[in-house]
Amino acid sequence: MAAVQTAAEAHDVDVLIIGGGPAGSTAATLLAERGHHVVLLEKARHPRFHIGESLLPANLPLFERLGVADEIKAIGMEKWGAEFVSPMHGRGETFEFRDAYDPQLPYAYQVRRSQFDEILIRRASRAGARVIEGCCVRAADLAIDARFVRVDAVHEDGRPEAWNARFLVDASGRDTFLAGLLGAKRRNRKHNSAAMYAHFSGAHRYTDQRAGHISIYWFDHGWLWFIPLADGVSSVGAVVWPSYLKERRTSLEEFFLATIAKCAPLAERLSQAQRVSPVEATGNYSYSADHSSGARYLMVGDAYAFIDPVFSSGVWLAMNGGAVGADAIDTCLRHPARARRALREFDRVMQRGPRVFSWFIYRITSPAMRDLFMQPRNVLGMKSAVLSVLAGDIFRGTPIWKSLHMFKAIYLLASVFNPRRTLGAMRKRAADIQPVVPGE
């Protein structure tokens, strides 16, 4: 490889963004529209495959703000709600977003991420950001100069290039570039899981208004998803505990299909289906950085934190983080005296999303939570408040918090009044989430 360029050869730029997923593309678009000189580096080339096809209603106003609403609608399948299926109860329960506190957010979309992510990154380019694909960041120096961050990258043809950025955005996703560089990445000790997934054609799909619903299936080793896409393909995946992964003695494909077979309702929907993509897997599913920003940098999306995707929150939290991050960076660059306050507000928003969703995620497989989801009641607005969370409506000041506190209190009482069941479930979960030790 050619020698890395010297600092004198580096290009000056206002903002350099690592990663062209939803978080990075959102930040790039909004910053470029405000007149900042933005460079976005993406190691792959779009379109590229990515999991996480289910969006939330809270995404839609941001699509309008970015000017991509019509493009997303053209590729998306309308998602009006979610179905939770509990074999323990022998049935499922459907939740519709129109029953949330704010009925003006009644639906979202299911999308192929290859199409969705390409729409967003091309929008960033049209907004004036310089988008460079096939370019992988190799190093960053946050302390080379008080005025900028030095970033070194290599193009896919081996050609090096460097930038001096007034501000650096890490939107590198699960690569967690900055968190790794700074030693800031922390495994979530309260939750641990891995995912296996593939696409299928010919699966049984609903034909009524539930046609675009995501279906979540509980089973003994975690949960599974079924996401219908507009072109007739369905995304199917299993999020499982490390204890279950220790049982694997076959190929990933065989293990994945055997896992589906353990959930009779999902297996029936796939009985006539054909797998049309390789089975993929990813582990170390929940983590976060111990901080979200510094003097000349911030982390957004999965580069900052990743939580279990049971509520499809990933794309929304990433894009919202990109938007809030763009606001913070604009303030830092234009009004340095207000930078510290702007980054504090950014950090508050970044922490809120994972915190709100994680309370449910840590308990979603517990018997008490399954009971509440299978017997929803809107007493004191509790069902509407939970649905608002499922819709992603947690940042606008929608008055859901008193009702959520009541829901949490009911959950606690249901757990306390069934102590044997609760303690048994707690012990099982504690054993299930223990990480797999290499060589075991």
Place of tokens 């034909």: 207
Q: What is the pLDDT of residues 95-120, one digit of tens each?
A: 999 999 999 999 999 999 999 999 99
Domain 77-110+193-283+365-440 has CATH 3.40.50.920: no
Domains of the chain: which residue ranges? 7-50+112-187+288-357, 77-110+193-283+365-440
How many C-beta atoms surround the C-beta of residue 220 within 10 A?
14
List, in sequence order, every residue forming a beta bridge with 165; answer none if it has no partner. 13, 149
Q: What is the pLDDT of residues 340-362, one digit of tens each?
A: 999 999 999 999 999 999 999 99
**Mean pLDDT along residues 302-316:** 95
CA distance 135 to 181: 18
Q: What is the 3-state secondary structure (H, E, C) of 1-43?
A: CCCCCCHHHCEEEEEEEECCCHHHHHHHHHHHHCCCCEEEEEC
Torsion of CA 46, 51, 55, 59, to 10 degrees: -40
Q: What is the pLDDT of residues 24-72, one digit of tens each?
A: 999 999 999 999 999 999 999 999 999 999 999 999 999 999 999 999 9
Q: What is the pLDDT of residues 115-144, one digit of tens each?
A: 999 999 999 999 999 999 999 999 999 987
The beta strand positions in 263-318, using DSSP E, are 274-275, 280-282, 287-289, 293-294, 297-299, 305-306
CA distance 269 to 213: 14
Output the CATH code of domain 7-50+112-187+288-357. 3.50.50.60
Same fold, 7-50+112-187+288-357 and 77-110+193-283+365-440: no
